[in-house]
Amino acid sequence: DIQMTQSPSSLSASVGDRVTITCRASQSVTNFLNWYQQRPGKAPKCLIYAASSLQSGVPSRFSGSGSGTDFALTISSLQPGDFATYYCQQSYSIPHTFGQGTRLDI
Amino acid sequence: QVQLVESGGGFVKPGGSLRLSCVASGFTFNDYYMSWIRQAPGKGLEWISYISGSGGTIYYADSVKGRFTISRDNAKNSVFLQMNSLRAEDTAVYYCARRGNYYYSSDSWGQGTLVTVSS
């Protein structure tokens, strides 16, 4: 199985900050890499697919980058609703494993 | 708009069984793979199963293989998860999700249904 490792595990930031979360795969997943946001008590929501493609309806302050084994999710200017947990997921080979999550706090 | 609604969660003793259902609307159901993904309390996400649009291709995570069975009824826009031989470690919120046809992201999710396995 491909292991996905996110860093940091938690992060404190303020409204307006620019933040970056990274995700590393244990082997190449080319660009089969997705990012999800999960607010407390809610279902996850897909933000980015194919490493850098923005899901429909997702604000442009979210962006993704990377290929192969190293990826990043950047939020350019944090808004109050962005304080949540973020997960990466590889969809290159089954099982489609998730990272352990990054909790973004105020 | 895409909507997924799960049901069937509840409390069950170890070794017991439970059947989850997910009803879909807002898209052509049989054009998409569907999946089940779970989240133990306070933990991260775990993909557990996929089923193709026709139902002819199925995948499972090793953690549930041989105990869980995914199926679908395209006439009823529904996907199911039959869970047998349940263990305490199966306690989780179970989400139904639609798998995108390109790059295979889970592009739409239901609200989840809680399964608690305890004696």
Kindly determine whether residue A49 and residue B95, on different chains, have CB atoms separated by under 8 Å.
no
Beta bridge partners of A95: none
Cα angle at A2 between A37 and A19, to 5 degrees?
35
Q: Mutation target for A interface from B32, B103, B109, B113: give the one with most A CBs within 10 A.
A: B103
Give the list of residues 6+ apart from residue B75 with CB closer than 8 angstroms, or none.
none
**pLDDT tens digits for B3-51?**
999 999 999 999 999 999 999 999 999 999 999 999 999 999 999 999 9
pLDDT at B36: 98
pLDDT at A37: 98
In 10 A of CB B63, how many CB atoms? 15
pLDDT at B2: 96
pLDDT at B112: 98
Cα angle at B21 between B16 and B25, to 5 degrees?
170
Residue with tokens 């909790």: A103
* Rounded Cα gap, residues B73 and B22, in angstroms: 10
CA distance, residue A18 to nearest chain B CA (Å):
24
**Which pLDDT band holds residue A106 (cuts at 50, 70, 90)?**
confident
Candidates A31, A44, A53; nearest CB to B45:
A44
Kindly determine whether residue A95 and residue B112, on different chains, have CB atoms separated by under 8 Å.
no
**pLDDT tens digits for B44-82?**
999 999 999 999 999 999 999 999 999 999 999 999 999
Residues of chain B in contact with residue A94, where contact means CB-CB under 8 angstroms, are: 50, 59
**pLDDT tens digits for A54-103?**
999 999 999 999 999 999 999 999 999 999 999 999 999 999 999 999 99
Q: Which amino acid is at A16?
A: G
Kindly determine whether residue A91 and residue B110, on different chains, have CB atoms separated by under 8 Å.
no
| DSSP code for B104 | T
Pairing mode, if any, of strands B10-12 and B113-117?
parallel
Contacts 24+ apart (CB under 8 A), B10-15: B10/B114, B10/B115, B10/B116, B11/B116, B11/B118, B12/B86, B12/B115, B12/B116, B12/B117, B13/B86, B13/B117, B13/B118, B13/B119, B14/B86, B14/B87, B14/B88, B14/B117, B14/B118, B14/B119, B15/B85, B15/B86
Residue of A nearest to B94 (CA): A43
Q: Mutation target for B interface from A31, A91, A92: give the one with most B CBs within 10 A.
A: A91
**Which pLDDT band holds residue B101 (cuts at 50, 70, 90)?**
confident
Distance of CA A73 to the CA centre of its chain: 5
Kindly determine whether residue A31 and residue B103, on different chains, have CB atoms separated by under 8 Å.
yes
Kindly determine whether residue B105 and residue A94, on different chains, have CB atoms separated by under 8 Å.
no
Average pLDDT over every residue of A35-45: 97
- Give yes or no for residue B102 having a pLDDT over 90: no
pLDDT at B38: 98
Residues of chain A in contact with residue B95, where contact means CB-CB under 8 angstroms, are: 43-44
